[in-house]
Amino acid sequence: MKKLGKIKGKVIATTDKAVLIELTTAKELWFPFSKIHSTNDYTKKEISQEILIDAWILESNNIPLDYLIDSLIKNIKTYHGDNLISIFGIGSYFDDNLPASWKKNLNFPLNTFISISS
């Protein structure tokens, strides 16, 4: 089974063999259709789409394998910066392949106690 990553972005242009995507980071990259593993409508250029793609392409372009996890980590670092000790549990928290009985926790211990409520 191939290792896949997930990106989100808007279609800028297409050719017969590739699609130019503007990622949520505003970076634009061409991705070959042969390496994309999701069904998307590439004629829709005004909406953001999620695209599954071979992980090695993302890794070679320094793109996170999952934009959601990456943006969550960035937000935690932004809001808790100097107070943050570590972040763990994030991979399993979003893993839908884990058994339903698996307890999913997202933890980021801080140097000082603060109340976080939803």
pTM for the full predicted model? 0.59
The tokens describing 51, both together, are 């695209």
DSSP labels for 4-72? EEEEEEEEEEE-SSEEEEEETTS-EEEEEGGGB-S---TT--SS-EEEEEEHHHHHHTT--SBHHHHHH
Q: What pLDDT is attached to residue 118?
A: 47
Q: What pLDDT is attached to residue 109?
A: 65
The tokens describing 58, both together, are 């993302």
Q: What is the domain class of 4-60 according to CATH?
A: mainly beta
Residue 84: what are its φ and ψ, rounded to 5°? -80, 130
**Coil, helix or strand for 33?**
helix
Q: For each successive 10 residues of the chain (118 residues), what is the average pLDDT?
A: 84 96 88 93 90 89 72 75 69 59 61 55
Q: Token match 């976080």: residue?
A: 116
Q: What pLDDT is attached to residue 108?
A: 61
Domain limits, CATH 2.40.50, in the chain: 4-60
